[in-house]
Chains A and B, each alone.
Chain A
Amino acid sequence: MPDMPDHPSFVSRKQVTEVYLKAIRLIDDRVTPLLGKATTRVLVQGAAKRLISQYPYLDFLAKMAYADIDPSAIQEQLPDVSPQELAAGLNALLDECFHGLRELTGNIIAPPLHEEVTRHIQQQQQP
């Protein structure tokens, strides 16, 4: 199973947030028809809650529905977090989401979607 890119070369927090929010929306698009909207929302928020001790700045994802997050607001809300740190936290979040998906449905959804999301992020990172 592919891993998420280790050292993303993002230039701004806004860019990082945009890329990963798109990745989350991709997960949403694929999972919602199979498990429903509420499950996808809880999957992401639950993953963010479990990671807060390690990445405290993921707090905004635990409290707010990802559909309501404005990437440019993240730029202002997390002034002390570098783009690389933010990318690491969001990477961990996606890993946790896929771990959750595997717990729920085994290998039915997670492996192909994981590949698709990794590909998507890599494409976004390319200049």
Chain B
Amino acid sequence: MTDNAYHASYGQSDHLKLEKVRQEMEYINTIGKRFVAAIDRFHVHRALLFALQDLYSFSACCILLFDETPQLFIIPCQPLSASFIQEMVQRIVSAAQVVDFPPLDIQHLIATAYMDAPDEVAQYRTQEAMECTEVGSVLNIPLTVENRIIGLLCLFDELVGTFDSEMLRLTTMIADYAAVALDNVRLRERENALWRRAELERQRLELILRSMAEGLLITDEKGMVISLNQSAWQLFNLAQVDIARNQSFYLADIAEERPWLLHLSQMIEWALNGQTITNQELTVGDKDETVPLTLNVSVAPLHDASQNTPRPTGVVAVLNDVTSNKQVERLKDEFVSVVSHELRTPLTAIKGYTQHLIRRIERRLQKARAAHNTQPASMEGQESPESYDLHNLRIIQSQTDHLERLVNDLLDLSQVQSGQLTLHCDTFNLAELLANCVHSAQASSEQHTILLDIQTPESAVVADRERIAQVIGNMLDNAIKYSPHGGQVTVNLERTEEGYRVTIKDEGIGITPEQLDHIFERFYRVRNTTSRQYAGVGLGLYVSKAIIDSHGGTIGVFNNSPIGATFYFTLPFKPVSKPLQLSESL
């Protein structure tokens, strides 16, 4: 259509109407652009003042926003007196009550109000009207976003009748723009705050991971290592595994001739299937070394926060270098081994000579008693020096026996630690052995009743008789020791498909769940709630477990209800070598 044709098809009035629409749209477009471009609340304030001051002049514009706490922004267009501000805030508080905002404290609002005075938009009136002292006109317009009132736009003027209904209509439109812009700013500020907090948290976490002495390895849901902290990287370097700092990799791909990496990879696989593996020792260094590099590893599955996915989203492994601990342990074991061997020699001599002296004195006393029968009655009732010596020597003998048991325990420990616990197996009757042990234990404890319950007519077994007697004796000793008020101890023997099961049930102090986890550890000793001390060095059960393990059996304990504990062990008909357990040294 040409210009002439265009003009011909529209009349003069239509043309004026179009021009008016164009001007209105231009105005709205200008305002809209300013609000859309506002990146913070002060830009919104400027856009608002720019739009409003196009319409009329006023003394001040205030914005009350209600987020978590009320925020009041006062934008003076000319100097305001304290009384003017006080009155403005009073009117704002009243208006806020009308739109159902929570009650506001005027003084607090004045004290916390933010004065934003953009010079470029401030309109100065005449010098006489420099300072406004009294409010003449007020307009409070709720700021609404999607039918939700987020605050108030309040306009004040010292003159009366500044605002009319037409102005109100236009101001409401501008307030709608301002409300959306302010809400956007609020959302952006909140988003920025969340990002800042998340970033700070990320940095803090990174700092923690970097400063951790333990190595930390994180994988994705497929088991690919996606993150290593500084300590883990150093441990890999120490183990001469060459890996790039910031590259993902599969452990199996770099395992080559390193079985420990394959084991670690296997543990990660288990964790990806939901299993948590704790405190597994991996021998990283060459086993021929005196103390090879050893890692204590715990691996746990990682689930996302929502817990919606059944399969872990990754795995976290904590690697702890325990080589120095191993070194200390080794030195300790060597020391214990040497000392117990060195103690054994003089102990044997002491024991032998004590026994010799006891026999000599016993013989002398026998002779004396024979002679005594011919002595006058006045000598009766007097204790001879030999009797006194014999009594003392028996104390020495008893204590030497005790010392010998301790030394034997320490020697057993050395053998277990060095893997030199040798078995001398032959066939014997387990029921008979149990009967002997029960008889011996019963003789040493009058407070307890020990019952023997044999559930099988046949109990032949191939095992190390002395060692099994040691295990039974140890369990019976414990049953008696930890039943300080006496009671019944029941020893049961039953035959199973794989072998025999021996249980020893007492009515003693029982074992707490925490103690159950450690009871078979070396040097671990049970203390009851009254902190009563029980004799022993905490090696009996450790050695017993090693003996039963070496026979291919199992050993365990559980609590009885309501009192006492039950220890049990199983023995195969003949010793079998068990497959290597994960909990054992890998």
Contact of B172 among A35, A49, A103 (CB under 8 A): A35
**A39/B165 contact (C-beta < 8 A), A100-B98, A105-B139 known:** no
Q: Give bound CA distance, A100 to B152, whole Å.
A: 14
B147 interface residue per 8 A CB criterion: yes
Could you tell me if B139 and A34 are in contact, using CB atoms closer than 8 angstroms?
Answer: no
Give the secondary structure class of A's interface: helix
Q: Give bound CA distance, A46 to B95, whole Å.
A: 11
Could you tell me if B142 and A38 are in contact, using CB atoms closer than 8 angstroms?
Answer: yes
Contact of A38 among B137, B138, B147 (CB under 8 A): B147
Contacts of B164 in A (CB 8 A): 108
Q: Which of B95, B100, B138, B140 is the most central at the interface, judged by chain A CB atoms within 10 Å of its CB?
A: B100
Could you tell me if A106 and B139 are in contact, using CB atoms closer than 8 angstroms?
Answer: yes
Q: Give bound CA distance, A45 to B148, whole Å.
A: 14
Contacts of B501 in A (CB 8 A): none
Give the secondary structure class of B's interface: mixed
Could you tell me if A34 and B144 are in contact, using CB atoms closer than 8 angstroms?
Answer: no
B226 interface residue per 8 A CB criterion: no
Contacts of B139 in A (CB 8 A): 104-106, 108
Digitize B118-154: 1 where CB-to-A-CB distance is under 8 Å, 0 elsewhere: 0000000000000000000111111010011100000
Q: Give bound CA distance, A39 to B150, whole Å.
A: 11
Contacts of A34 in B (CB 8 A): 165, 168-169, 172
With an 8 Å Cβ cutoff, the count of chain B residues facing the other chain is 24
Could you tell me if B168 and A42 are in contact, using CB atoms closer than 8 angstroms?
Answer: no
Contacts of B163 in A (CB 8 A): 105-106, 108
For window 70-127 of chain A, which residues contact chain B by CB distance below 8 Å? 99-100, 103-106, 108-109
Could you tell me if B142 and A105 are in contact, using CB atoms closer than 8 angstroms?
Answer: no
Contact of A42 among B138, B142, B176 (CB under 8 A): B142
Could you tell me if A39 and B149 are in contact, using CB atoms closer than 8 angstroms?
Answer: yes
Digitize A18-42: 1 where CB-to-B-CB distance is under 8 Å, 0 elsewhere: 0000000000000001111111011
List the count of A-B residue pairs having beta carbons below 8 Å apart: 70
Contacts of B144 in A (CB 8 A): 36, 38-39
Could you tell me if B142 and A103 are in contact, using CB atoms closer than 8 angstroms?
Answer: no
B91 interface residue per 8 A CB criterion: yes
CB distance from B416 to the nearest CB of A (A): 77
Q: Give bound CA distance, A16 to B148, whole Å.
A: 30
Could you tell me if B168 and A46 are in contact, using CB atoms closer than 8 angstroms?
Answer: no
- Among residues of A, the one whose C-beta sits closest to the C-beta of B142 is A39
Q: Give bound CA distance, A108 to B170, whole Å.
A: 14
Digitize B89-108: 1 where CB-to-A-CB distance is under 8 Å, 0 elsewhere: 00100110111100000000
With an 8 Å Cβ cutoff, the count of chain A residues facing the other chain is 22
Could you tell me if A37 and B147 are in contact, using CB atoms closer than 8 angstroms?
Answer: yes
Could you tell me if A104 and B98 are in contact, using CB atoms closer than 8 angstroms?
Answer: yes
Could you tell me if B147 and A46 are in contact, using CB atoms closer than 8 angstroms?
Answer: no
Could you tell me if B100 and A103 are in contact, using CB atoms closer than 8 angstroms?
Answer: no
- Among residues of B, the one whose C-beta sits closest to the C-beta of A109 is B165
- Among residues of A, the one whose C-beta sits closest to the C-beta of B95 is A103
A52 interface residue per 8 A CB criterion: no
Contacts of B169 in A (CB 8 A): 33-34
Could you tell me if B100 and A42 are in contact, using CB atoms closer than 8 angstroms?
Answer: yes
CB distance from A113 to the nearest CB of B (A): 11
A4 interface residue per 8 A CB criterion: no
CB distance from A77 to the nearest CB of B (A): 23
Contacts of A50 in B (CB 8 A): 97
Digitize B76-94: 1 where CB-to-A-CB distance is under 8 Å, 0 elsewhere: 0000000000000001001
Using A46-B99, A106-B139 as known contacts, list a sample of 8 further A-B pairs with CB atoms less than 8 Å apart, ordered by residue number in A: A35-B172, A38-B148, A39-B99, A42-B100, A103-B97, A104-B139, A105-B140, A108-B139
Listed A/B pairs (12) with beta-carbon separation below 8 Å? A33-B169, A34-B169, A35-B172, A36-B144, A38-B144, A38-B147, A39-B142, A100-B98, A103-B140, A106-B137, A106-B139, A109-B165
- Measured CB to CB, the residues of A under 8 A from B are 33-39, 41-43, 45-46, 49-50, 99-100, 103-106, 108-109
Rank and list the top 8 A-B pairs by shortest CB-CB distance, nearest first: A46-B100, A100-B98, A38-B147, A104-B140, A39-B142, A38-B144, A103-B98, A103-B94
- Measured CB to CB, the residues of B under 8 A from A are 91, 94-95, 97-100, 137-142, 144, 147-149, 163-165, 168-169, 172, 176
